[in-house]
Structure 1
């Protein structure tokens, strides 16, 4: 079977999808007593009533394994000064345990999931559905608590665009 067309379609999709500016966040979950986190830019708010969000997670990842072991998870929206956090938690092959070492967190009120203290906003979610789509799972959750970070009123969001980082103008 000739995959030339499929390969070129995939490569062109990757190229053009890099033109989609996206907020950067951290998905975090407790796995036993360990805190596990990864950087994502494929998440969205799905519904306001009830408040619902979804995040796309690679099906073969350790994060997906961790999410399968928990009823809850957290999403922390990164601010523009947290590029180092994004790069660290987005690196492939990061350790399963200790990924949040040195990053200030606090436990979310309902389930104790780790939330990044300096996040612009954070959401604690109860998993309601997991959908397998191509090479990823779409993990859907109902928001059970949320809040803002310590200096969110002065912060700008960290954005990804064309494989680089940026932010937007004054708030």
Structure 2
């Protein structure tokens, strides 16, 4: 057996907080039709063929059984202008839509107005991972804001941050 050092969770959180992430709100509906959603920054692309994405949900969250049991969900990519939406969906409780009137996506999940992009998925699988579960979804529909490139909502070092477009280095990896 290999002896591994004890990793302090607060230190780990601080170190991992050095990785900048986008912010999304994942939404679905309960069996009785209630719209639910939560702010997530553990979202990423998994595969292009087949088209798969993932997000993580804490097993301690009251929303955990609703998201891991949902047959479908929508991932709403937030813009800088949607900080209040992010904060609203990050707070405890289930009634997070009280100030919003969402659209309904192709699969029935709530879709937030003015999202930069929306990725609609059917649940492909759930993977246990420590104190979280990884929800993998198969992409079945998607859309993106066609009005240029509004600033995304970015999280880094425990705080929302802004990108500086003045220092953007526009390049294409596949050019």
Partner of residue 29, structure 1: 28
Which residue number corresponds to residue 125 of structure 1? 121
CA contact (8 A) 2:58 2:64 kept: yes
Listed as ranges, the matches of 1:65-80 within 5 Å are: 65-80=65-80
CA RMSD of the aligned region, Å?
A: 1.7
Where structure 1 has 5 or more consecutive residues not aligned to the other structure, the ranges are none
Q: Given the alignment of the two structures, is residue 145 of structure 1 paired with residue 144 of structure 2, yes or no?
A: no
Question: Paired residues, what number?
Answer: 161
The answer for the alignment partner of 1:88 in structure 2 is 88
Name the CA distance, whole Å, in 1 between partners of 2:119 and 2:20: 21
CA-to-aligned-CA distance 1:89-135 (integer Å, 9 cap, x gap): 112x22x2x311222421111x1101112110010010011001100
4+ runs deviating over 4 angstroms: none
- Cα shift at 1:156: 1.1
Kindly state the Cα deviation for residue 154 of structure 1 after the two structures are TM-superposed: 4.3
Shift of the alpha carbon at 1:15? 1.2
C-alpha deviation, 1:29, in angstroms: 0.6
Residue aligned with 1:66, SS: helix
Which secondary structure does the structure 2 equivalent of 1:14 belong to? helix
The separation in 2 between residues aligned to 1:161 and 1:103, in whole angstroms, is 26
Correspondence for 2:171:
none
Moved more, 36-45 or 154-163: 154-163
TM-score of the pair, normalised by structure 1:
0.87
TM-score by length of structure 2 reads 0.85
SS at match of 1:62: coil
Q: Flag structure 2 segments of 5+ consecutive residues without an equivalent.
A: 169-175
Asked whether the 8 Å contact 2:68–2:135 carries over to 1, the reply is no
